[in-house]
C-alpha cells in the first residue's frame, strides 16, 4: 500500500482493492469490459464544485485488464455515463501502482459515487490535465527555448495546413514583390482548376489584382499574364485596385467586388468577366462608399447571397470597424444599419479594438462569420467565430463560438499579422463546402511586412463550428534570468522549464499569477542537478505579501519557511523528480509542506506550519533559485488544486459487465418501404437470442413483432418492419436472452412512418474523382431510368434502366461514358425518371 495521504494534503483520495460489493444500478458506457464504483466522502463542510480527487491503484488492482498505457481508463459520474475530466499522474504496470486525478463536478455533504472504467482496446487516450485542474501548465504550449509568457494554447484553434505558406511575394522588382494577400478562392468547372484572386503590391506601394491557379487548391502557380486588373483609367481607382472578392453564378459568369483607391479615397467597385481573366469594370463605378462611420475610406470583403439579396461586409481604416451593405443588383448598395455591426471596443490594448474584413457563410440552420481582430498595441492576433440565426448578426442574436485562429509561434511565417480569412465554398450562397471539409485561406506576415497566403483545413465541419473553450487570462507568467522551456528532462508530456544560474550572483525565477484563493494546494514536479549551495523553491504570495516557501534546499535536504528556513532532515537526490506541494489555508494562517516521490509515495510531511507573512488570499507562485544556486533546476506540470481536508476513504469493488455494456450503437429509421431497426454489439462469446417488440404511439403496449427476420453481419443486427401503417408512430424495444439472464437491451425513440415522394439525393462525394454514388427513393414499383448528361445536354451514359421496387436504391458512376471512355473534368447533370415523373441534379467531376 502507498503511504496514507496527509490530512492537510489530500484533495480527496480513494484506494481501489479487490473486494466484493453489491452491484449498483446505473447506465453504462458501451465498449468497456470492466468498471468499479468509487465512493468519495467529502472532507469539506460545504459543497465543492470542480473538486480534484486522487484515485490510487495498488497491487489489489488487476493491471492486466486495462491497456498497458492506461489509454482506456475513464471516469464517470454516478449515472455511469457522464464523462469526467481526469489525468494520469502515475502508471506503473510492473510495480502495480497508479495515481489518477479526476475532476468531480459537485462534491456534496453526502457520499459521492463515481465509476472508473477500463478494458477497451479501441479507446483513444482521453487524459486531460488542463480540464482536471483549475490551473494547469505542463509547458507544452510554449516555444522551445523561450520562457513562459501569458496566453498559452488556444483550445478552439483550427488546424494549419502543414505545407503553409501556399503563395509568396514575387521576386524583387516585380508587381507583387511585397506581398500576396486578400485571397478569394473559387473552383472554375470550365477550366477544371482552382483559382485564387489575390491582392499583390510592390515595394513602391502600388496595389493590383493577380491570379494563381491550382489543380488541388494546395499547389499554386501564378498566372503568367498577371496582374489581371490594374488601376484606372478612372480617377477614383487610379491609385490602386485591391481586395478582390470573386465568385461565379454560371459557367461563364465571373463577378468581382473590389476596392479602388484614388482621388476620393477608398471606395468599392464592381467588375465582370466571361473567363475570369479579362475583366470589365462597371460604368457605374464606384458602386458603394459609406461616408458616415467609415469616413469615406470604405474597403470591401466577404460577399454572400441570401435569397435575392447580396450581403457585403465592409470596413473602414483607423479603428477599423465592420458593417454590412445590401444590394439586389451588385450596383446599388445601401448600409444595412446606420452604424457598424462589429464596432471597436475603444480600448487600445483590447484584442477586439479593431474588427475588420469579416467573412460569412452558412452551415445547417445557422449563419457564421469570421472576424479578424487585433489590439492597436499588438499584432493582428485572432479570428473570432460568431454564430447567429440572422445573416446580419444583430448583437442580441450573436454568439461567440470560439477563437478559430491566432498568430503562429516565434519564428514562424505567420507570427505577426494575420487577417482576411476566406472560406472556400462552391456557391455564392456560401453553403456548399469542398470535399465536405472546411478550407479557410488567410493572409499573414512574420514581422517583415512581406505578406503570404496560408490555409486552415478542418475535416470535421461540425466539430470546427461547435462551441470551444476560449483562451482566457486565468494564468500568466513572468520570468527573471535564464528561464527557458526545454524538451529534456521532462516528468510528463514533452517539455519542462529549466532555470539556470552559472554566475551564482543573481536569482532566476518563473512567477505565475492566478485568480486569488483562500485555500488550495499548489504543486509542481521539481528536480535539481547539483547539491551545491542555493535553493530551488516554490514561493506563495498574496499580492506582495510572501506567505510560505518550501522546496529542494541547500546542502541536499528538503526545507520550508515559517519566517526563517527550517531543515526537514530528509535528503533529496540529484537528477530525481519530486512532486513538491504546499497546501494553504489563509483563514487559519497555516500551510502543509508535503513531497511525493515518482511513485506518489509521501516522503516529506510537515503540517500546520505558520505563514511567514499573514495574508487574506494567495494569487501568485514563484519558482525560484536563490543567488547562491548553481547548476540547473527544472519544474514541470504545475497545477493548483482545491483542498479542504482529509476525506474518508471508501473502497469500491469490481463488477462483472452486463451485456448492455457491449451495445455500441442502435438506430431506428423510416426508409419508405420499411422501418429499419439496427444495433451493433461489441464482440462476445455469449449465445444471444433477441426478441423485437413494437408499440404504437401514443399509449400502445409493446407486442412482439412477428414475420420480420433478424439479419446478422458479424455483430451488427438488422430488422426491417414492413407491416407498418402510414402516418402512424411506433416505438421499438429489443430484449436479449443469454440463457442465464433476460433483460432489455435498448428502446428506441418514436419513429413516424410517413409516405415519401420520389426523391433524388445529391451524389457523394461531390466534387468527385474517380467515382461517385447516387441515391434515390421510389414511393412505388415503377419503370426507372437514371441518365448522366454533359453541360451541353448530351446524354453520355445510362446507369439504370428497368423495373424497380418501392424503396431506397443506389447507383454508382465511375466517370466513364457509354463506350467506357473516361470523361473530362466539368459539370454534369443526372436525371432520374420513374414512370411519368423526373427529377435532376448536377455534380462536378475533378480530374
Per the structure block, which three cell numbers stand in for 350? 483590447
Residue 9 has pLDDT above 50, yes or no: no
For the question of whether the overall pTM of this predicted structure is more than 0.85, the answer is no
Q: Summarize the confidence of residues 322-344 as an average pLDDT.
A: 95
Per-residue model confidence (pLDDT) at position 10: 40
**Minimal CA–CA distance to 9: which of 502, 596, 731?**
596
- Identify the pLDDT of residue 473: 60
Q: What would the DSSP string read from start to end of 825-843?
A: SEEEEEEEEETTEEEEEEE
Q: State yes or no: pLDDT of 337 exceeds 90.
A: yes
C-alpha closest to that of 294 among 319, 257, 331: 319
Q: Give the model confidence (pLDDT) of 516-561 as tens digits.
A: 888 999 999 999 998 777 899 999 999 888 999 999 998 899 999 9
Q: Is 269 in a helix, a strand, or coil?
A: strand
Per residue in 608-639, pLDDT (tens digit) is 999 988 888 999 999 999 877 888 999 999 99
What is the C-alpha to C-alpha distance for residues 171 and 183, in angstroms, rounded to an integer?
19
Q: By mean pLDDT, which of 72-86, 200-214, 637-651 is the weakest? A: 637-651
Q: What is the pLDDT at residue 477?
A: 82
* Residue with more model confidence, 184 or 683: 184
Task: Please tell me the distance from the alpha carbon of residue 53 to that of residue 639, in angstroms, as a whole number.
Answer: 13
- Tell which residue, 466, 537, 570, 484, has the closest CA to residue 156: 466
Confidence of residue 282 (pLDDT cuts 50, 70, 90): very high
- For range 468-493, the mean pLDDT: 82
Residue 696 has pLDDT above 50, yes or no: yes
Q: Using the 8-state DSSP alphabet, how is residue 463 labeled?
A: H
Helix or strand (DSSP H, E) at 461:
helix 461-464
In the chain, the percentage of residues whose pLDDT exceeds 90 is: 54
Kindly report the average pLDDT of the chain as a whole number. Answer: 87
Which segment of 300-304, 424-428, 835-839 scores lowest on mean pLDDT? 835-839
Convert the pLDDT of each residue in 715-751 to its tens digit: 889 999 888 877 789 989 888 776 655 667 778 888 9
Query: Which pLDDT score is estimated for 505?
Result: 60
Over residues 132-153, the mean pLDDT reads 78
Q: What's the pLDDT band for 685 if we cut at 50, 70, 90?
A: low
Percentage of the chain lying above the pLDDT 70 cut: 90
Measure the CA–CA gap between 19 and 376, rounded to whole angstroms.
63
User: Above 50 in pLDDT, residue 329?
Assistant: yes
Instruction: Say what the pLDDT of residue 152 is.
Output: 54
Task: Count the Cβ atoms, other than its own, within 10 Å of residue 507.
Answer: 17
* Reported confidence tier of residue 56, pLDDT bands at 50, 70, 90: confident
Confidence of residue 64 (pLDDT cuts 50, 70, 90): confident
DSSP characters for 104-152?
EEEE-SS-EEEEEEE--TTPPP---HHHHSSEEE-STTS-TTS---S--
- 682-to-31, 40, 123, 662, 664 alpha-carbon distances in Å: 6, 31, 13, 5, 6
148-182, pLDDT tens digit by residue? 865 556 778 999 999 999 999 999 999 999 989 99
Q: What is the pLDDT of residue 150?
A: 57
Structure confidence by residue, pLDDT tens digits, 144-157: 888 886 555 677 89
Residue 504 to residues 171, 539, 630, 771: CA-CA distances in angstroms? Answer: 51, 19, 6, 70
Contact 516, 640 (CB under 8 A): no
User: 72-81, 189-198, 796-805: lowest mean pLDDT where?
Assistant: 72-81
Sorting pLDDT into bands at 50, 70 and 90, what band is 656?
A: very low
**CA distance linking residue 229 with residue 282, whole number of Å:** 13
Residue 447: per-residue pLDDT:
80
Amino acid at each position: 500500500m502507498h503511504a496514507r495521504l496527509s490530512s492537510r494534503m489530500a484533495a480527496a483520495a480513494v484506494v481501489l482493492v479487490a473486494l466484493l460489493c453489491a452491484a449498483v444500478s446505473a447506465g453504462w458506457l458501451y465498449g468497456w469490459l470492466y468498471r468499479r464504483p468509487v465512493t468519495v466522502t467529502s472532507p469539506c463542510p460545504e459543497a465543492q464544485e470542480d473538486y480534484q480527487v486522487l484515485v490510487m491503484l495498488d497491487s489489489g488492482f488487476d493491471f492486466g485488464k486495462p491497456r498497458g498505457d492506461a489509454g482506456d481508463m475513464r471516469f464517470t459520474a454516478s449515472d455511469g455515463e457522464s464523462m469526467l475530466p481526469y489525468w494520469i499522474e502515475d502508471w506503473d504496470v510492473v510495480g502495480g501502482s497508479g495515481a489518477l486525478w479526476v475532476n468531480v463536478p459537485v462534491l456534496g455533504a453526502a457520499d459521492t459515487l463515481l465509476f472508473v472504467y477500463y478494458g477497451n482496446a479501441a479507446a483513444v487516450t482521453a487524459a486531460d490535465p488542463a480540464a482536471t485542474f483549475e490551473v494547469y501548465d505542463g509547458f507544452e504550449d510554449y516555444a522551445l527555448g523561450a520562457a513562459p509568457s501569458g496566453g498559452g494554447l488556444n483550445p478552439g484553434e483550427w488546424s494549419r495546413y502543414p505545407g503553409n505558406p501556399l503563395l509568396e511575394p514575387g521576386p524583387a522588382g516585380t508587381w507583387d514583390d511585397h506581398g500576396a494577400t486578400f485571397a478569394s478562392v473559387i473552383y472554375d468547372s470550365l477550366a477544371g482548376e482552382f483559382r485564387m484572386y489575390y491582392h499583390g503590391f510592390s515595394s513602391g506601394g502600388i496595389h493590383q489584382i493577380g491570379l494563381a491557379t491550382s489543380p488541388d487548391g494546395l499547389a499554386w502557380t501564378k498566372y503568367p499574364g498577371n496582374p489581371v486588373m490594374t488601376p484606372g483609367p478612372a480617377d477614383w481607382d487610379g491609385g490602386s485596385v485591391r481586395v478582390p472578392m470573386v465568385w461565379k453564378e454560371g459557367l461563364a459568369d465571373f463577378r468581382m467586388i473590389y476596392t479602388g483607391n484614388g482621388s476620393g479615397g477608398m471606395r468599392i467597385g464592381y467588375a465582370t468577366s466571361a473567363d475570369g481573366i479579362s475583366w470589365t469594370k462597371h460604368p457605374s463605378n464606384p458602386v458603394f462608399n459609406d461616408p458616415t462611420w467609415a469616413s469615406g475610406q470604405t474597403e470591401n470583403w466577404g460577399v454572400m447571397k441570401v435569397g435575392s439579396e447580396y450581403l457585403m461586409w465592409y470596413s473602414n481604416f483607423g479603428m477599423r470597424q465592420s458593417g454590412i451593405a445590401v444590394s439586389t443588383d451588385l450596383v446599388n448598395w445601401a448600409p444595412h444599419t446606420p452604424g457598424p455591426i462589429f464596432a471597436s471596443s475603444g480600448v487600445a490594448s483590447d484584442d477586439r479594438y479593431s474588427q475588420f474584413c469579416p467573412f460569412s457563410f452558412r452551415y445547417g440552420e445557422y449563419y457564421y462569420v469570421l472576424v479578424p481582430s487585433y489590439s492597436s498595441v499588438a499584432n493582428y492576433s485572432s479570428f473570432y467565430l460568431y454564430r447567429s440565426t440572422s445573416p446580419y448578426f444583430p448583437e442580441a442574436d450573436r454568439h461567440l463560438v470560439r477563437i478559430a485562429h491566432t498568430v503562429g509561434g516565434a519564428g514562424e511565417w505567420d507570427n505577426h499579422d494575420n487577417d482576411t480569412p476566406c472560406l472556400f465554398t462552391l456557391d455564392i450562397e456560401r453553403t456548399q463546402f469542398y470535399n465536405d471539409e472546411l478550407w479557410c485561406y488567410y493572409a499573414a506576415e512574420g514581422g517583415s511586412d512581406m505578406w503570404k497566403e496560408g490555409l486552415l483545413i478542418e475535416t470535421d465541419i461540425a466539430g470546427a463550428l461547435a462551441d470551444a473553450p476560449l483562451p482566457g487570462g486565468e494564468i500568466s507568467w513572468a520570468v527573471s534570468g535564464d528561464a527557458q522551456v526545454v524538451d529534456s528532462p521532462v516528468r510528463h508530456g514533452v517539455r519542462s522549464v529549466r532555470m539556470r544560474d552559472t554566475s551564482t550572483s543573481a536569482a532566476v525565477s518563473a512567477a505565475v499569477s492566478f485568480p486569488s484563493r483562500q485555500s488550495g494546494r499548489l504543486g509542481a514536479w521539481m528536480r535539481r542537478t547539483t547539491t551545491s549551495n542555493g535553493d530551488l523553491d516554490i514561493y506563495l504570495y498574496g499580492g506582495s505579501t510572501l506567505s510560505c516557501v518550501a522546496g529542494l534546499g541547500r546542502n541536499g535536504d528538503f526545507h520550508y519557511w515559517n519566517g526563517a528556513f527550517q531543515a526537514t532532515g530528509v535528503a533529496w537526490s540529484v537528477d530525481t523528480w519530486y512532486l513538491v506541494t504546499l497546501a494553504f489555508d489563509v483563514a487559519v494562517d497555516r500551510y502543509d509542506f508535503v513531497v511525493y516521490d515518482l511513485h506518489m509515495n509521501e516522503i516529506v510531511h510537515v503540517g500546520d506550519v505558520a505563514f511567514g507573512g499573514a495574508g487574506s488570499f494567495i494569487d501568485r507562485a514563484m519558482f525560484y533559485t536563490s543567488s547562491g544556486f548553481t547548476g540547473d533546476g527544472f519544474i514541470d506540470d504545475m497545477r493548483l488544486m482545491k483542498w479542504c481536508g482529509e476525506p474518508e476513504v471508501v473502497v469500491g469493488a469490481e463488477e462483472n459487465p452486463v451485456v448492455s455494456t457491449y451495445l455500441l450503437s442502435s438506430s431506428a429509421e423510416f426508409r419508405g418501404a420499411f422501418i429499419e431497426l439496427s444495433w451493433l454489439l461489441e464482440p462476445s462469446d455469449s449465445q444471444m437470442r433477441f426478441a423485437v417488440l413494437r408499440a404504437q404511439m401514443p399509449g400502445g403496449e409493446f407486442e412482439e413483432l412477428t414475420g420480420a427476420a433478424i439479419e446478422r453481419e458479424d455483430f451488427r443486427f438488422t430488422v426491417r418492419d414492413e407491416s407498418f401503417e402510414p402516418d402512424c408512430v411506433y416505438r421499438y424495444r429489443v430484449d436479449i436472452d443469454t440463457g442465464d439472464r433476460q433483460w432489455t437491451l435498448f428502446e428506441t425513440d418514436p419513429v413516424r412512418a410517413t409516405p415519401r415522394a420520389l426523391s433524388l439525393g445529391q451524389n457523394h462525394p461531390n466534387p468527385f474523382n474517380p467515382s461517385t454514388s447516387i441515391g434515390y427513393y421510389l414511393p412505388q414499383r415503377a419503370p426507372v431510368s437514371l441518365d448522366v448528361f454533359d453541360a451541353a445536354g448530351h446524354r453520355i451514359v445510362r446507369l439504370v434502366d428497368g423495373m424497380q421496387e418501392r424503396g431506397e436504391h443506389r447507383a454508382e458512376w465511375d466517370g466513364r461514358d457509354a463506350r467506357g471512355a473516361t470523361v473530362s473534368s466539368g459539370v454534369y447533370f443526372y436525371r432520374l425518371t420513374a414512370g411519368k415523373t423526373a427529377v435532376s441534379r448536377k455534380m462536378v467531376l475533378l480530374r
